[in-house]
Chains A and B, each alone.
Chain A
Amino acid sequence: MSRVGWWRTGLVLSAVLLLEIATRRGWINPVSFIPPSKMANAAWGLLSSGQFSKDIGLTIAAAFIAAVMAVVFGFFGGLVLHRFPRVLRVVNPLLLSYYAVPIFVAYPMFIVLFGINRLPLIAIGFAFAIVAMAVNTLNGLQRVPRVLRRAARMSRMTAFDEMRLITIPSCLPYLFTGVKLVVVYAFIAVIGGEFVLSGEGIGYQIAFAYNNFDNQTMYGLMLLLLLFVGSLNLTLHVVEQRLYQRRVLREAS
């Protein structure tokens, strides 16, 4: 691990230790905020009992489907916008203001459209994430150096080969950023949706525990969720680093 990495780890561990001391000593009310060690204990208990396995599975499945759909449709959306600059000029202000609109206000509409099941959650996850992918795809495509496109023309490439051999590899760092954002946004939207109006899933179970003053379960689930999404992002980050270590990091430095 790098020196900065050690400092970062030390910072997180210090914050956890401080919370542990603060709650044990009563600086923070331990009833409303349980010590981190108890959270970890509760999380392990919930995981090993299998009590919430179904909810965890449902949340992950909904977020996964929403993320895959957002990546696929967002990528093709970005391609279309890049291919048709007039369309881009029309929709660009809408894209820029997209995240200014709280997407959760559309949740009742999704329920009307899809019924009370998991589909509205997938739809909200998809709707929340797709624009991040489309915008990053568009950014990547717009930044493919003109000279590389000219090099493709000198090689007499077909449009498909140019896309496969030049365009996508060139904008891959942007696509990867899009994928990382999609994963985060899909989880935020699905769990947020479960909080608002759902009878199952991690979000619902956290809200249920909160409403019933069951802090052990609430903090346990929150920690599990934090660890899962954190691990997922870390995995994506490691994959990205390995793929582009020589290219992106050295260029950035």
Chain B
Amino acid sequence: MNSGVERVRADAARAGETAHLSFSRVTRFYRSTSGKAPFHALGPVSFELSPGEFFSVVGPSGCGKSTLLDVAAGLSPPTEGEVRFEGGAVNGVVPDGVALVFQEDACFPWLNVHDNAAFAARHAGVAESEIRQRVEHALAFMGLTGFARSYPAQLSGGMRQRVCLARAMVLRPRLMLLDEPFGALDQQTRLLMGDEVLKLWRDTGSTVMLITHSIDEAVMLSDRIGIMSARPGVFIDIVSTGWKRDRDSTITSDSRFGALQSRIWTLLRGESLKALEQRP
């Protein structure tokens, strides 16, 4: 086990927590603007993530996966229930030590790659000399060293997403939330980016929660996979993959990979059909 995980687990132990992130009967309703009943987007949802765990959430379109992530990030408060991160309540305020990588391109087009990677850490008040070291490490880690002075418009979609991952990495988060970060990329690039994320996860020791539509991606990357129902999303099952920590995209040829995919699709199929029927 690497030092990153030990650090996260030690922090959690000091805080007297066995769970790094926990959801306890969390629901999220949105007010309707047209006088209709409130829109029930999520829950009730209860689960716990262990320190250093890689947890993915798969579910049909519109089931509330991104809402779950927003609530975990503190971008959206739960309507009912409680979210706790490292023992502290998360109630619509982004906690310290949490980073979010978005599905959309979140690079700042007016900043070069180096400054994009340094942006969040600079705002968090990290010393400039420390930021320089972290950025150099993150860019080298992501294979972007030669592009430090390039601007996002000069990079491919995959490289831009690596810049966003580098930005999160420079922050040294204890919880990393990934909202379909490879959704806009082609299948081959997604597999390679999956390898990058696994390396990043091992390097930082962060707890990771990934939201994805892709069953393959979830099976390849995760220690556990939460399978959500059609809206309002609740977990219908949580599946452990049993992969060893040191893994990469070559596990897609493992016989267990297909079995896991098949099991998850069996659970999801009916929910996906329900979700199709729910569409206006």
Q: Contacts A154-B94, A161-B123 given: A247-B105 contact, CB under 8 Å?
A: no
How many A-B pairs with Cβ below 8 Å? 55
Q: Is the interface of B mostly helix, strand, loop or mixed?
A: loop
A interface, CB within 8 angstroms of B: 145-148, 150-151, 153-157, 161, 165-166, 169-170, 172, 244, 246-247, 250-251
Q: List 23 A-B contacts (CB under 8 A).
A: A147-B102, A147-B105, A147-B106, A148-B106, A150-B75, A150-B102, A151-B102, A151-B106, A151-B120, A154-B73, A154-B75, A155-B119, A155-B120, A155-B123, A157-B123, A166-B108, A169-B108, A169-B110, A247-B109, A247-B151, A247-B153, A250-B151, A250-B154
Q: Which B49-90 residues have a C-beta within 8 angstroms of A?
A: 73, 75
Q: Contacts A153-B94, A154-B120, A156-B94 given: A147-B104 contact, CB under 8 Å?
A: yes
B153 with A250: CB separation less than 8 A = yes
Contacts of A161 in B (CB 8 A): 123
Q: Contacts A147-B105, A161-B123, A170-B110 given: A154-B154 contact, CB under 8 Å?
A: no
Contacts of B230 in A (CB 8 A): none
20 additional A-B pairs beyond A154-B98, A156-B93, A246-B154, beta carbons within 8 Å, are A145-B106, A146-B104, A147-B102, A147-B106, A148-B106, A148-B108, A150-B102, A150-B106, A151-B120, A154-B100, A155-B120, A155-B123, A155-B124, A157-B123, A165-B123, A170-B108, A170-B110, A244-B110, A247-B109, A247-B153
Closest A residue to B102 by beta carbon equals A147
* Complex-state Cα separation, A114 to B124, whole angstroms: 52
Closest B residue to A146 by beta carbon equals B104
B99 within 8 A of A: yes
Contacts of B102 in A (CB 8 A): 147, 150-151
A154 with B104: CB separation less than 8 A = no
Contact of B99 among A145, A154, A157, A169 (CB under 8 A): A154
* Complex-state Cα separation, A156 to B73, whole angstroms: 11
Residues of B in contact, count (CB < 8 Å):
21
* Complex-state Cα separation, A157 to B109, whole angstroms: 19
* Complex-state Cα separation, A169 to B116, whole angstroms: 13
CB of A249 to closest CB in B, whole Å: 8
CB of B77 to closest CB in A, whole Å: 13
B104 with A145: CB separation less than 8 A = yes
* Complex-state Cα separation, A145 to B123, whole angstroms: 20
* Complex-state Cα separation, A161 to B122, whole angstroms: 12
User: Chain A CB within 10 Å — which of B73, B105, B110 has the most?
Assistant: B110
Contact of A246 among B99, B120, B153 (CB under 8 A): B153
Closest A residue to B150 by beta carbon equals A246
Contacts of B108 in A (CB 8 A): 148, 166, 169-170
Contacts of A251 in B (CB 8 A): 109, 153
Contacts of A250 in B (CB 8 A): 151, 153-154
Closest A residue to B124 by beta carbon equals A155
A153 with B109: CB separation less than 8 A = no
Closest A residue to B75 by beta carbon equals A153
CB of B93 to closest CB in A, whole Å: 8
Interface string of B92-129 (1 = CB under 8 A from A): 01100011101011101110000000011001100000
B110 with A247: CB separation less than 8 A = yes
* Complex-state Cα separation, A165 to B104, whole angstroms: 19
The list of the 10 closest CB pairs from A to B, nearest first, reads A147-B104, A250-B153, A246-B151, A169-B110, A155-B123, A147-B106, A247-B109, A151-B106, A251-B153, A154-B100
